[in-house]
Amino acid sequence: MRFGAFPSLLLLILAITGVGSAKAVDFRTKFDIQANGVYRSLSQQGFSDAVTVGDGLLFLGSQVIATSDWFELEVRQEFRSVFGDTPSYPPGDIARLNIQSPERFMQLDRMLVENKGINIISDIERLRASLVFPEGEAWVGRRPVSLGVISFFKVWNKFTRPVSGLFGPTIVYGSDGFGGSYQSGDFSFKAMSLFGPDVQDDAHLLEVAWFNPFAEFRFLGGRWWDRNAVGFAFSKTVFDWMLRLETLYLSKGTATAMAANPSETQIGLGFDGAINSALSLLVENYFQSIGAMDTTDYSITDPSRFTNLRAKFYTFAILNWQMSTLWKSGFGDLFNGVDGGQLFSLRLNYSLSDNIELLSEFNLPLASDGAEFAKRTFVFKDGSYLGSGSQFSLGLKASF
């Protein structure tokens, strides 16, 4: 931690603001739980037969939000655990990574239990103070960050997993820093400084949105993880369908790391909308200049910290079907345009009540050996892998 007083200063702001306005504060509390049982079929290097791995994932969250006319405080405590076969696998296995937040400026997480059968982590996942005014807000602390217009590949939003169809529940981790937003007429400004454990982990970004009658335009600029970043995006309604474009250019980085950090260009183009009252469709295409054009060029490590996809071209499509007021499903397919591999996804959810939902998801890789979505192959003892084994998840999500 580079500034040891930062967490203490934030807690002091939270305390002073809350105590000073206790009479005018509206408190909202929420408790949520998500439990998943997951089975994966893995093909490990050196073994001809696939093995079945069973895991349980449990997420408990307790959140308090205090608001008044001019401020908002948010604190969220989480307990995340994985139990079953995964704790016996290397630390880099993606199932274990699901419960581990990335390294951040404030290290507020703590491993409570770590043994062969179970890992449990305690974490203060959100700790934020905001000053709210009619045209926007100013905030400091830890909160999730949202950027851009693309839904699935998230060209601008590198603070969450680039592909939401990866193993396990989709968890959005917050970032540490400060920022604000301001709305003036047809223009909106969003600025933020986000901090990591080291200087090269920092991001200082400005997003400008222009709400033009023709389309919504967005511009991004700043310094991002030791790289200069420039982006352009727009969204426009065409015949009741929303067309979205998002582009990002990243410079080569510092002179000392130029060889390992070539310049990058990433582009996402897609559309989404309702087919009828029950069906909706989302389609997105993705290009990254650093991606491989042949399977022999795939590497076990990620091409850069801005992506965990390895090829140049991808297409994703998902058809959502609201079968009834209680049942909804999704049929999705992630297609690798270089090796032809696919990752098919089926999601089926049932609403038990307004606050409780049953979740199920089945991911099936359809790819030849050596393809990115082939059956997962563990290569190193640290858990590095290439591929994606068959996955089935059944879970429960509730909030109160």
Going by C-beta distance under 8 Å and a sequence separation of 6 or more, which residues neighbour residue 185? none
All residues at 6 or more sequence positions from 60 whose CB lies less than 8 Å from its CB, including other chains: 31, 32, 33, 78, 79, 80
Q: Under a CB-based contact definition with an 8 Å cutoff, are residues 35 and 390 in contact?
A: no
Q: Given pLDDT bands bounded at 50, 70 and 90, which one contains residue 19?
A: very low
Could you tell me which residues come within 8 angstroms of residue 201 by beta carbon, excluding any fewer than 6 positions away?
A: 103, 195, 225
Parse the chain into domains and list their residue ranges.
5-399
Cα dihedral sign, 248-172-101-36 = negative
List all residues 6 or more positions away from 142 whose beta carbon is below 8 Å from its beta carbon: 104, 106, 108, 124, 125, 126, 127, 128, 174, 175, 176
- Is residue 260 exposed (0-12), middle (13-18) or buried (19+ Cβ within 10 Å)? exposed
pTM of the predicted model as reported, rounded to 2 decimal places: 0.86
**Distance (Å, whole) CA 400 – CA 397:** 11
Count of CB atoms situated within 10 Å of the CB of 316: 23
For residue 266, which of 291, 292, 288, 293 has the smallest C-alpha distance? Answer: 288
The whole-number pLDDT of residue 386 equals 73
pLDDT digit string, tens, across residues 117-137: 899 999 999 999 999 999 999
Q: Does residue 246 have a pLDDT over 60? A: yes
Q: Which pLDDT tens digit goes with each residue over 264-311? A: 999 999 999 999 999 999 999 999 999 999 988 888 777 888 988 889
Q: 361, 345 in Cβ contact below 8 A?
A: yes
Residue 208 — very low, low, confident or very high, per pLDDT cuts 50/70/90? very high
Of residues 204 and 5, more confidence is placed in 204
What DSSP string runs through 69-121?
A: SSEEEEEEEEEEEEEESGGGS-TT-HHHHTTSPPP-SS---EEEEESSSEEEE
pLDDT at 51: 78
Determine the average pLDDT of the residues in 145-174.
77
φ, ψ of residue 11 in degrees (nearest 5): -60, -35
Task: Kindly state the average pLDDT of the residues 126-150.
Answer: 94
Share of the chain above pLDDT 90, in %: 56
Q: How confident is the model at residue 6 (pLDDT cuts 50, 70, 90)?
A: low
Assign 340 to helix, strand or coil: coil
Q: Is 17 helix (H, G, I), strand (E, B) or coil?
A: helix
Average pLDDT over all residues of the chain? 86
**pLDDT computed for residue 46 by the predictor:** 59
- Give mean pLDDT, residues 257-269: 80
CATH of domain 5-399: 2.40.160.10
Query: Per residue in 162-204, pLDDT tens?
Result: 564 456 666 778 999 999 999 999 999 999 999 999 999 999 9
